[in-house]
Amino acid sequence: MKKNLLQIIKSFTMMLLFFTRIPIKHHFEFDEYDYDIGLMFFSLIGLVIGLGLMAMKWITLNANPYVSALMILLLYVWMTGGIHIDGLSDTVDGVFSGRERERIFEIMKDSRVGAFGSISISLLLISYVILFAEHTAGTILLMPVVGKSAVLASASISDYAKKESGLGTRFIEQSGDRERYIGFAVTAILCLIVNVNLIIAAAATFVFCGLVTQYMKKKLGGMTGDTLGFINETAQIFFMLVVSLVL
């Protein structure tokens, strides 16, 4: 029991260090097994991020809504290090280039941000500010959980698109039915706690991301770390848009 608990703590810590910039002191030495186990807790990384964003929403409750939203956005970018935002811009630059598959991968690998990538980042940040200003702390708490669960779902129904290994290789290869269902379960439980109606928006988001994943698979032959970043950011925006328009 103690050994299993230590493994959970170790794997969860690895996920936090890998996907956030939250400073954590530890004495662990991580390996691939820790990473594989940690995938089951990926949605909980979203919960940690969501708790931080919700706290900022409460702290700035009496401020101008858009000042509050800006503070939430700055915290989000700091907590995540912009890792998925970078994936979004790379994916948009590549997929909207109109080139063939191999050329798309070359564009996505280029460290320079193109016109489409710049536009996508601008639209994303503007969308976050508007939606953070509008939504309650509960919806903001759920947003990164839905995003991370959507990434798990996307990875679980995909193969890695590139011949050479990348940051997303092991994530995609090791994500399966178990990880997808855990992500769905964590999202559903939190929706029941916060607001049961949010399940509708979460379900719609998962369907949307499933369709996007199928498109990426046809376009690229699978998914990559960058396209999973694209899924994360678009899922979060889509979730909040559905809440705004439907609920």
231 Cβ contact partners less than 8 Å away, ≥ 6 residues apart: 150, 151, 154, 209, 212, 213, 223
Q: Is residue 199 part of a domain?
A: yes
Q: What is the pLDDT of residue 2?
A: 66
Q: What is the DSSP letter of 110?
A: -
Nearest-angstrom CA–CA distance, 135 and 145: 15
Q: What is the pLDDT of residue 1?
A: 66
Q: What is the DSSP letter of 246?
A: H
Q: Is residue 34 part of a domain?
A: no
Q: Is residue 10 part of a domain?
A: no
Dihedrals phi, psi of 69, to nearest 5 degrees: -60, -40
CA distances from 82 to 21, 166, 167 (A): 10, 18, 15
How do the pLDDT tens digits run along the chain, 247 residues long? 666 888 999 999 999 999 999 988 888 888 899 999 999 999 999 999 999 999 999 999 999 999 999 999 999 999 999 999 999 999 999 998 888 999 999 999 888 999 999 999 999 999 999 999 999 999 999 999 999 999 999 999 999 998 888 778 999 999 999 999 999 999 999 999 999 999 999 999 999 999 999 999 999 999 999 999 999 999 999 999 999 998 8
Q: What is the pLDDT of residue 166?
A: 75
Structural domain of 128: 40-246
Q: What is the pLDDT of residue 201?
A: 98
List residues bridging with 223 in a β-sheet. 160
Q: Is residue 8 part of a domain?
A: no
Q: Is residue 11 part of a domain?
A: no
Cα dihedral: 131, 90, 122, 135 (round 10): 10
Q: What is the pLDDT of residue 28?
A: 83
Q: Is residue 112 part of a domain?
A: yes
On the 0-12 / 13-18 / 19+ scale of CB atoms within 10 A, 127 is middle
Q: Is residue 109 part of a domain?
A: yes
Structural domain total, the chain: 1
Rama region for 112: left / alpha / beta (φ>0; ψ in -120 to 50; rest): beta
Nearest-angstrom CA–CA distance, 221 and 162: 8
Q: Is residue 134 part of a domain?
A: yes
Please state, as a whole number, how many other Cβ atoms lie within 10 Å of the Cβ of residue 197: 11
